[in-house]
Chains A and B, each alone.
Chain A
């Protein structure tokens, strides 16, 4: 079945630094990938839709200069949290759209100290 690998699983960084999260579709091509943020005990909040070879589409209220998304190939999308602050601490999940539907990565727990 379709597999999406997300890396790293968890990361701790200092306030003001940047963190990159990778999302790879391992056995299928994904022209579209999605990035979600999940707060404790809440549902997933879509941050942006990432399309291969073009600019990402951000949801209302999401700072595109803080959350940089690059979808350079059909199997890889990256989310970079720039100048991270403690309020950016969260669980980030990616998803890739393939022929079987939407497959999710295992998530990245970001803690900014």
Chain B
């Protein structure tokens, strides 16, 4: 069965420090992989996605993620965190085919301390 694991429920980093949010997935076929960010009371905004090709994906707001097939991981990174990055981050995996659903991780809440 498809599943996504985000092992860290909460992460706190200092402003300006680097960030890595972990995501591991279980999927039987070639997946689409996504990272979304959600601010309180808001919908989800796509940060980046991986379909195929280069395993290091660049996204918006200075985020990047690396797909590692051997580790079934798709970790999100940012070299220098800003206070505005405080939010909840969701990793998701989905099929290549249309009409099929995304599976979400439980989310990681990022707190940024000044």
Q: Pick the residue among B32, B36, B41, B105 that contacts A104 (CB under 8 A).
A: B36
Q: Which residue of B lies closest to A2 (CB)?
A: B46
Instruction: Give 1 or 0 for each of B94-112: 1 = CB within 8 Å of chain A CB.
Output: 1000110110111100000
Q: Is the CB of B43 within 8 A of A93?
A: yes
Q: Is the CB of A49 within 8 A of B101?
A: yes
Task: Collect the chain A residues with CB atoms within 8 Å of residue B43's CB.
Answer: 6, 93, 104-107
Interface residues of B, count at CB 8 A: 21
If A43-B104, A44-B104 touch, whether A106 touches B42 (CB-CB below 8 Å) is yes
Task: Collect the chain B residues with CB atoms within 8 Å of residue A42's CB.
Answer: 106-107
A64 within 8 A of B: no
What CA separation (Å) do A112 and B78 show in the bound complex?
40
B43-67 CB contacts (< 8 Å) to partner A: 43-46, 49
A-side interface mostly:
strand
Most chain A C-beta atoms within 10 Å of own C-beta, residue among B34, B44, B49, B90: B44
Which interface class (under 10, 10 to 19, 20 to 34, 35 or more) fits A? 20 to 34
Task: Collect the chain A residues with CB atoms within 8 Å of residue B34's CB.
Answer: 101-102
Most chain A C-beta atoms within 10 Å of own C-beta, residue among B34, B45, B90, B104: B104
Q: Is the CB of A101 within 8 A of B44?
A: no
Q: Is the CB of A107 within 8 A of B42?
A: yes
If A43-B107, A101-B32, A104-B43 touch, whether A31 touches B98 (CB-CB below 8 Å) is yes
Task: Collect the chain B residues with CB atoms within 8 Å of residue A34's CB.
Answer: 101-102
Task: Collect the chain A residues with CB atoms within 8 Å of residue B94's CB.
Answer: 101-102
A85 within 8 A of B: no
Q: Is the CB of A32 within 8 A of B99?
A: yes
**How many Å from the CB of B90 to the closest CB on chain A?**
7
Q: Is the CB of A101 within 8 A of B49?
A: yes
A5-46 CB contacts (< 8 Å) to partner B: 6, 31-32, 34, 42-44, 46
Q: What are 10 pairs between A and B in contact, CB < 8 Å?
A: A31-B99, A42-B106, A42-B107, A46-B101, A49-B99, A93-B43, A102-B46, A103-B46, A106-B42, A107-B41
In the A-B complex, the 8 residue pairs with the smallest Cβ-Cβ separation, listed nearest first, are A106-B43, A104-B44, A107-B43, A104-B43, A32-B99, A43-B106, A43-B104, A43-B107
